[in-house]
């Protein structure tokens, strides 16, 4: 992977902000869908599709591509927006999110949209699928990586831990799991509903290498991926602590924005529902202005 310059980091931060700005009207148009997780993961998706992944939007089935598995499929709006910006399908198609006969279903469907590797919805299945792909890659002597995005909440599913145990046994160093550790789920804080700690120690006990980062720091994330590429005897977990609702002050760290789109409900502590998207976009545009000023000073 190429070295990351300050210029490149700013470009990726602007791309993440563009993703966030597109997410808001996409969710408003759909009238349903998840907001907190997609906003929180925009930095990682920008880094993946515009710097890290080996992929080709014009040839999505390229055999040597890296595979990106989205286990927590409910955050798919961020994947759809990022894929549209990367050239997999027209940006205008984002208006069809969650509509009848749309390719952009509420959870990703593998055969509906080129570039989507697995169908996801029920939580806890993605890591097992990724383990299978990583095993196949090893058996075929392929050099691609399997990146599996998971949520903290889905680690309340036993199947996730079975997959983690298998990955450790088979020393799948071509498997990099990225957990969106934002500590919210639809009913509240993860640690109140079903505690996961000591999370890092659990993975290490299954023979994983664990790298802990600020998941909204693009430079830190790219550095962790580079470090993961240099590990050859075990699978790697990047424990990415993210801020749900990142970039929109009234949504940040509020579990009530886990599964609600803007302009649908009056949520205490947030603007009136008719103003939610407007306020969110105003805040995101101010962030963009700051980034562009920094870019101009480089």
Cβ atoms < 10 Å from Cβ of 100? 5
How many whole angstroms separate alpha carbon 219 and alpha carbon 8? 10
pLDDT tens, per residue, the chain with 298 residues = 767 999 999 999 999 999 999 999 999 999 999 999 999 999 999 999 999 999 999 999 999 999 999 999 999 999 999 999 999 999 999 999 999 999 999 999 999 999 999 999 889 999 999 999 999 999 999 999 999 999 999 999 999 999 999 999 999 999 999 999 999 999 999 999 999 999 999 999 999 999 999 999 999 999 999 999 999 999 999 999 999 999 999 999 999 999 999 999 999 999 999 999 999 999 999 999 999 999 887 6
How many whole angstroms separate alpha carbon 56 and alpha carbon 234? 28
| The pair of three-digit structure tokens given for residue 165, joined into one six-digit string | 């145990």
Q: What is the CATH number of domain 6-296?
A: 3.40.50.970
Is this prediction's pTM over 0.85?
A: yes
Domain residue ranges in the chain: 6-296
SS (H, E, C) the chain: CCCCCHHHHHHHHHHHHHHHHHHHHHHHHHCCCCCHHHHHCHHHHHHHHHHHCCCCCCCCCCCCCCEEEECCHHHHHHHHHHHHHHCCCCHHHHHHCCCCCCCCCCCCCCCCCCCCCCCCCCCCCHHHHHHHHHHHHHHCCCCCCEEEEEECHHHHCHHHHHHHHHHHHCCCCCEEEEEEECCEECCEEHHHHCCCCCHHHHHHHCCCEEEEEECCCHHHHHHHHHHHHCCCCCCEEEEEECCCCCCCCCCCCCHHHCCCCCCCCCCCCCCCHHHHHHHHHHHHHHHHHHHHHHHHCC
How many whole angstroms separate alpha carbon 232 and alpha carbon 254? 39
| The pair of three-digit structure tokens given for residue 157, joined into one six-digit string | 């599913």
How many whole angstroms separate alpha carbon 277 and alpha carbon 263? 6
How many whole angstroms separate alpha carbon 130 and alpha carbon 147? 8
How many whole angstroms separate alpha carbon 68 and alpha carbon 56? 13
What pLDDT was estimated at residue 122?
85
Cβ atoms < 10 Å from Cβ of 176? 26
Handedness of CA 254, 266, 94, 114 (dihedral sign): positive
């Amino acid at each position: 992977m190429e070295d990351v310059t300050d210029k490149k980091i700013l470009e990726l931060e602007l791309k993440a902000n563009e993703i966030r700005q597109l997410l808001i009207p996409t969710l408003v148009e759909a009238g349903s869908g998840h907001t907190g997780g997609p906003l929180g993961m925009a930095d990682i998706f920008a880094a993946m599709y515009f710097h890290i992944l080996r992929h080709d939007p014009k040839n999505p089935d390229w055999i040597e591509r890296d595979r990106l598995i989205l286990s927590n499929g409910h955050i798919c709006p961020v994947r759809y927006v990022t894929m549209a910006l990367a050239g997999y399908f027209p940006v205008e198609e984002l208006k069809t999110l969650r509509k009848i006969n749309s390719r952009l279903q509420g959870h990703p469907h593998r055969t509906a949209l080129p570039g989507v590797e697995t169908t996801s919805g029920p939580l806890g299945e993605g890591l097992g699928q990724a383990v299978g792909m990583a095993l196949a890659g090893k058996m075929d002597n392929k050099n691609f990586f399997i990146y599996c995005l998971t949520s903290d909440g889905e680690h309340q599913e036993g199947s996730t831990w079975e997959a983690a145990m298998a990955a450790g046994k088979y020393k799948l160093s071509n498997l990099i799991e990225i957990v969106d550790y934002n500590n919210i789920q639809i009913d509240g804080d993860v640690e109140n509903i079903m505690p996961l700690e000591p999370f890092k120690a659990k993975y290490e006990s299954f023979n994983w290498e664990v790298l802990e980062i600020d998941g909204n720091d693009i430079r830190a994330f790219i550095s962790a991926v580079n470090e993961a590429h240099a590990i050859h005897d075990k699978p790697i977990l990047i424990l990415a602590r993210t801020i749900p609702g990142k970039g929109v002050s009234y949504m940040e760290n509020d579990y009530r924005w886990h599964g609600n789109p803007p302009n649908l409900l009056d949520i205490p502590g947030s603007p009136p529902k008719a103003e939610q998207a407007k306020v969110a976009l105003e805040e995101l545009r101010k962030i963009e202005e700051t980034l562009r000023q920094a870019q101009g000073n480089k």
